[in-house]
Structure 1
Amino acid sequence: MPYCILVHGSDLKYSSRSKIDAFISSKILKNASMILVNSKYTKDRVLEKGYKRSKIKVLNPGVDTKIFQPNIDTHKIKERYKLFNRRIVLTVARLVPRKGHEIVIKAIPEVIKHIPNLVYIIAGTGEEESRLKEMVDKLKIRAHVIFTGFMEKELLPQLYNACDIFVMPSYERQEFGDFEGFGIAFLEANACEKPVIGGRSGGIEDAVVDGETGLLVDSHNVSEIIDAVVRLLKNRDLAEKLGQNGRDRVEKKLSWQKIG
């Protein structure tokens, strides 16, 4: 029976954890009529494993633009986290090493010299939480960083709307075969007309159009992240333009309505 399989990126890592996993994964991919991948980068990684180019197609993920949209009332979320009169930088992601939270945290002390009312919101849970909180305490920036823990899905659109910038400088951990296959959160933020900052790594270049819907930076370069964050927080016209471009792009090319 013909079948199609979708590869996100991280599943390539998990499919190689053992010989039996690798064998089963190889069989499934080899016999598939079509292999859909979420980005050009993921396509390259699948090609490296020797599968036929002719049956590999790129299908970028999409978001529901009726759920993720601008001009949503943010009073509830701002009240919960005392965000009134704050400039907000946001990351929504699992707290795992490759998402780059620690790089943003390292940038915060310098950013607050330029933007004293800054707050960095980290929404999500994961294995890195304790270590990241220790970093925050060591840098003495607790007043400028909020860990929300688990965030209810219905509150995410409010959170995106409340922020000024979404940032996620993900990077590839080659020794573990761990990379960002795409980065759907960038589209969610863009759909809410927010500018984004992403790491120049993995499939993020499919999710973020550098200079058009956001800015791409070297994920390991703290100075680049500082410059990008300060630039967008100080240049509201640029931030607004990138956010609007992001919304337009999602509506035209990357909404569920278009992809479906």
Structure 2
Amino acid sequence: MLNLQNKKIIIATHVYTTGPAQDLRDFLRSEKVGKLLYIGHPLFFQPKLKGSGYELYFGNTGEKKESYSKIKNNFGVWSYIRDFFNNIRYVIKNGRGWDLYIGSDNLNALSGLVLKRLGLVKKCVYYVVDYNPVRFQNRLMNKIYHKIDQYCVRHCDETWNLSARMKEGRKNYFNFSAGKQITAPIGIWYDKFARVEFDKVEKHTLVYMGHVLKKQGIQYVIEAIPAIIKEVPNFNFLVIGGGEYLADLKNLVDKLRVSKNVKFTGFVEDHREVEKMLSRCAAAIAMYERYDEHGNLSFTYFADPGKLKSYLAGGLPILLTDVSHNAKEIEKLGCGKIITPDKESIAKAVVTILKNESKLEKMRQNALKYARWFDWNLIFDKNLKRVLYEREIKMGKKQIDLCKYGQYKKDIFKKLNFHFQKGKKILDVGCGDGSDAKIFINEYRLRTSGIDIYEDKKIHSLRGFHFKKAGIYKIPFKSETFDYVFLHDILHHIDEKQQLYSNHIKGLRELKRVCKKNGYIIIVEGNRFNPLFYPHMVLLKKHNHFKQSYFRRLISKVFPTVHFISFEAHLYPPTFLVFFKFYESIMEKVPFLRSMRAYNVAIVRKGEADSI
């Protein structure tokens, strides 16, 4: 769990529409960050936008201060240089001792590096929300831009790229691979997205959302409609958005006499209304171009299109061209279908999905499951935790001597890599002899309680440990009592003889009940088909460890947003430790062995949507 109440953070960005910087601002406010300075500059002249300025938030009091200038129609190179100096001026005006500066684009990040050099900020992150090796056709401008980009990547504490292709672009075009470059994808507010049940979905409606331009390929969908309606007579195509190509599309609809099958909404300002429209549709389409008008790879090729995440969060399978970095992954995971921008390919894909209701329902389930991985809460929590607390965690690890608990326990907690906050309350479910509780009490300084159906005599020697004899179905604590709920090799012992799915679900729901909102449930569970576990624990000891697929399906059924990891950890004979550590390195580095690693771990953050 992040503790931001004593942190002071700055975000600097250029503004046109909402984007990752605004989502980060909203996340930090929801976490009640101690002090937040949000600096915004208009990207270009647009009367509806504000001029350069800032918003100052105080998390403890909820107070907000705002200061923006009036937008002026005098944009050019000098206006962006002015923004660079304004960043520094706004920060100086609002005090010193900032913990983190996050600059969205290279000039804003460069301001952060100057402020860090002046001692006004401790750490600086370069947040790259769009990237293209050929950003400008003017070679001098392009060279200057990328020199600044590379300087920021090299000197900032971290660079957050929306996709791995941004890092690859720097390497392939400029032979540049310096700096700590992290992939921080576009996210969605999964729990807030307006969704409907499958029986309320308009099962023959395809949707496009976005700016209506010729390059988006909407005309190919309209051209495909005569072929589609032969197989799906009540097919409808909903176009949400406005743009310069709208009139041409309406003419094409009239020409093909398919007006009853196409609806244009025009621009819809209320994003919540857009979400409602999306969720009622059956599937979505997104046709991106790989190359721009100059023959260079497009911005979309390097980016992480937010539109795709919105479609997925609504449960919509996507028909998409093979341009975005995740197109093949979306198809592989059964969330969509790769098409080519022509009427034949589109018609075939639409009919395949919309004519088969069971296939459509399965693809919608896959889309939602995939979308959960991109909840902004998970993305920001993970990346802010690393950049803000990395040094503290490393120092903490020097102070926390896990070696004295043995090689096995040391490996478990080291690879779990979870930052427990001192003084918080944790429930150790199935605490056994208290070996994990001992670490929570003595090393992490947590207020520790435990339950187990058996009462081991050793637990009474643990000072500061609150034990109750109880099972998982009826935990004897009030709802929302604990900041952390921890299970280590316990889940498969629920209903050990029958292993009923319904009983596993019942146990997980009880864990959810006693966990506080914004608290964490951490489940560490042995993997049935691990090469070392299976002969020893399953065949000899008759333990019913779960398969990884069942474990993930089970957890995802109860919790909408889960972070899954897997690792190797065993109690090895000291004589053969070197050999087994080599075995571990193979298991953890080879991707196709992921499903066989010793431990499956689920880290769940309980949000508002997880209330009982």
Same-fold status (TM-score > 0.5): yes
Q: Structure 1 residues 19, 50: closer, same or farther in 2, change over 3 A?
A: closer
Whether the 8 Å contact between 1:164 and 1:194 is mirrored in structure 2 is yes
Instruction: State the shift of 1:86 in Å.
Output: 7.4
Residue in structure 2 matching 1:38, options 141, 144, 162 = 162
Q: Which residue of 2 aligns with 1:12?
A: 132
- Listed as ranges, the matches of 1:1-260 within 5 Å are 1=113, 3-9=124-130, 11-12=131-132, 15-19=135-139, 21-32=141-152, 33=156, 34-50=158-174, 52-55=176-179, 56-71=181-196, 87-151=204-268, 152-176=270-294, 177=296, 178-180=298-300, 181-205=303-327, 208-217=330-339, 219-251=340-372, 253-260=373-380
Q: Aligned partners of 1:16, 1:234: CA distance in 2, in Å? A: 45
Q: Aligned partners of 2:245, 2:134: CA distance in 1, in Å? A: 19
Task: Map Cα deviations across residues 74-130 of structure 1 (whole Å, 9 max, x no partner).
Answer: x9xxxxxxxx97721101111123322122222122111111211111111222222
Task: Map Cα deviations across residues 38-58 of structure 1 (whole Å, 9 max, x no partner).
Answer: 223444334333162243432
Q: Structure 1 residues 41, 104: closer, same or farther in 2, change over 3 A?
A: farther
Q: Aligned partners of 1:173, 1:162: CA distance in 2, in Å? A: 33
Q: Which residue of 1 aligns with 2:519?
A: none
Task: Map Cα deviations across residues 22-44 of structure 1 (whole Å, 9 max, x no partner).
Answer: 24422321111344322234443
Q: Which residue of 2 aligns with 1:80?
A: none
Q: Which amino acid aligns with 2:171?
A: L
**Identical amino acids, percent of aligned pairs:** 21
Instruction: State the shift of 1:59 in Å.
Output: 2.0
Q: Aligned partners of 2:291, 2:135: CA distance in 1, in Å? A: 16
SS in structure 1 opposite 2:211?
Answer: coil
Instruction: State the shift of 1:207 in Å.
Output: 7.0
Q: Structure 1 residues 97, 39: closer, same or farther in 2, change over 3 A?
A: farther
Q: Aligned partners of 1:22, 1:51: CA distance in 2, in Å? A: 16
Task: Map Cα deviations across residues 204-223 of structure 1 (whole Å, 9 max, x no partner).
Answer: 42772435211112x32432
SS in structure 1 opposite 2:205?
Answer: strand
Task: Map Cα deviations across residues 190-235 of structure 1 (whole Å, 9 max, x no partner).
Answer: 2122222111113342772435211112x32432211111111111
- Count, aligned residues: 249
Q: Aligned partners of 1:175, 1:48: CA distance in 2, in Å? A: 21
Whether the 8 Å contact between 1:183 and 1:203 is mirrored in structure 2 is no
Which of the two has greater strand per residue? Answer: 2
Q: Aligned partners of 1:47, 1:215: CA distance in 2, in Å? A: 30
Q: Aligned partners of 1:208, 1:16: CA distance in 2, in Å? A: 31
SS in structure 1 opposite 2:348?
Answer: helix
Q: Which amino acid aligns with 2:350?
A: V
Q: Structure 1 residues 202, 65: closer, same or farther in 2, change over 3 A?
A: closer
Q: Structure 1 residues 134, 20: closer, same or farther in 2, change over 3 A?
A: farther
Higher relative contact order (CA 8 A, sep 6+): 1
Q: Structure 1 residues 45, 125: closer, same or farther in 2, change over 3 A?
A: farther
Q: Which stretch of the first structure deviates more once superposed, 27-36 or 143-152?
A: 27-36
Q: Aligned partners of 1:135, 1:42: CA distance in 2, in Å? A: 38
Q: Aligned partners of 1:104, 1:8: CA distance in 2, in Å? A: 29
SS in structure 2 opposite 1:148?
Answer: strand
Whether the 8 Å contact between 1:41 and 1:202 is mirrored in structure 2 is no
Q: Structure 1 residues 137, 259: closer, same or farther in 2, change over 3 A?
A: same
Q: Which amino acid aligns with 1:141?
A: V
Q: Structure 1 residues 60, 209: closer, same or farther in 2, change over 3 A?
A: farther
Instruction: State the shift of 1:157 in Å.
Output: 1.6
Q: Which amino acid aligns with 1:186?
A: L
**Alpha-carbon RMSD:** 2.9
Whether the 8 Å contact between 1:69 and 1:193 is mirrored in structure 2 is no
SS in structure 1 opposite 2:171?
Answer: helix
Q: Aligned partners of 1:240, 1:96: CA distance in 2, in Å? A: 31
Q: Which stretch of the first structure deviates more once superposed, 42-51 or 52-61?
A: 42-51
Q: Structure 1 residues 89, 13: closer, same or farther in 2, change over 3 A?
A: farther
Structure of higher CA gyration radius: 2
Q: Which residue of 2 aligns with 1:79?
A: none
Q: Which amino acid aligns with 2:240?
A: A
SS in structure 1 opposite 2:127?
Answer: strand
Q: Which amino acid aligns with 2:177?
A: R
Q: Structure 1 residues 154, 191: closer, same or farther in 2, change over 3 A?
A: same
Whether the 8 Å contact between 1:86 and 1:119 is mirrored in structure 2 is no
Q: Structure 1 residues 85, 233: closer, same or farther in 2, change over 3 A?
A: closer
Q: Which residue of 2 aligns with 1:81?
A: none
Q: Which stretch of the first structure deviates more once superposed, 109-118 or 23-32?
A: 23-32
Give the structure-1-normalised TM-score. Answer: 0.83
SS in structure 2 opposite 1:45?
Answer: helix
Q: Which residue of 1 aligns with 2:492?
A: none
Q: Aligned partners of 1:147, 1:94: CA distance in 2, in Å? A: 12
Q: Aligned partners of 1:132, 1:59: CA distance in 2, in Å? A: 36
Give the structure-2-normalised TM-score. Answer: 0.37
Q: Structure 1 residues 3, 209: closer, same or farther in 2, change over 3 A?
A: farther
Whether the 8 Å contact between 1:195 and 1:214 is mirrored in structure 2 is yes
Q: Which amino acid aligns with 2:360?
A: A
Unmatched runs of 5 consecutive residues or more in structure 2: 1-112, 114-122, 381-612
Whether the 8 Å contact between 1:122 and 1:146 is mirrored in structure 2 is yes
